[in-house]
A and B are shown apart, each in its own frame.
Chain A
Amino acid sequence: MLLNYDRMGGLQWVLVFITVLVSLFLILPVVFIIALSFGSSQWLVFPPPGWTLRWYQEFFADPRWMAAFWTSAKIAVLVMIFTTALALITSFALVRGRFRGREILRAAFLTPMILPVVVVAVALYAFFLKIGLNGTMTGFVVAHMVLALPFAIIPISAALAGFDKSTEDAAIVCGASPWEARLRITLPSIRHGLFAAMVFSFLISWDEVIIAIFMASPSLQTMPVRIWSSLRQDLSPVIAAASSLLILLTLVLMLLAALLRKKAN
């Protein structure tokens, strides 16, 4: 009947039709950008009259784009390391702790995820103006950590909750110190949660626009800030090249995550 694909009758084709349309709607802009980045038309004519690598050459030859690229990469790696470490110890507290108000604390840790980013951005901007962290690497990393923390806590605490603590206890009974047991038994067992947390926190920082627009200074810009300010001037195909590179990175990370999950099963 309605939940059996082979027995839906005519309805099946209506639903398949809508699903195909929505899937095309979702995927075509991504394909479109990649096609334009290789297209030879300055004015973004589609389909492109010819193919070229010119926009990538311009991207890699422009010191401002390159500086933005490395700034983004540095910030994202730092955010990934600090956020995952912080989320790991916090998850131990949230999953293993037996203190009063644990559930309230968990909800509190997840609030940066629900608040509109623009509110956080404006608030941090005001605060950083006062203490002189605006336009600094530290400011960027701290601000992105606040945003990324919930997304790292969720997978790690889920993995930790699914891990049978008696394995760790067994190691301690067999003579391991508590920290040794955590390091050598628990951490490897929750590595998928840790990996997910690393991917999420990296991508959140790498893709983040709004806070970055406020934190950026002329000498310290991330890729999204650079794309944002170029977009406000014109729709140059170099932006398509830059966007395609961002998409490529996402693809690589997603495939890597999928492969690791497959290997784990």
Chain B
Amino acid sequence: MNAPFFKFDMFSVDFSLVIAFVIGIGFGFALERGGFGNARILAAQFYFTNMRVLKVMFSAIVTAMLGLFFFVAFGWLDLSLVYYTDTNLIPQVVGGFILGIGFVVGGYCPGTSCVSAATGRIDGVIYLFGVMAGIFVFGEIFPLISDFYYSSNMGRVFLPDYLGLSYGMVVFLVVLMAVGAFAAAEWGERKMAAKKSGGSK
């Protein structure tokens, strides 16, 4: 098996758009199943009352990460052909922080707001207009901030190389961290539920 298939010219660019649409359907379907078309479910993550965001996100990352790891180990997939953004540490850290604030203020992230809008949520529709406004502002002031945008470029940084550990070891550590986070999330939810039922009586 030679993967990624597209990089080995197994189908045309036009057909890749069909695949994009089908993959998008799977993505949207999963997000809706998870409850992520609902801003209250998403925001609850940040009040420790419902930790679905963490559970879904980390089990998805672990699943895809393990899949990639084994495909690479079996020699089926060439990881160097998978698209990978460069690390620009400072802008990404600042961008992530702004995005996190936007998450709890707006109640969605861009992908989940699409599902929210598709299932009739007016706040999701308005949020999407906000996203486009934010992108517009970013583009307009881009000439002023382009130095910062391109700063602290570290190139393509693979976490195992950065930490000086083997690929398998980092995969193992991430799985361990995820399992720990799941246990903490389950514990926290029970604790918050007990607090709530105790407080309302």
Q: Say whether A associates with B.
A: no
Q: Which residues of A contact B (CB under 8 A)?
A: none
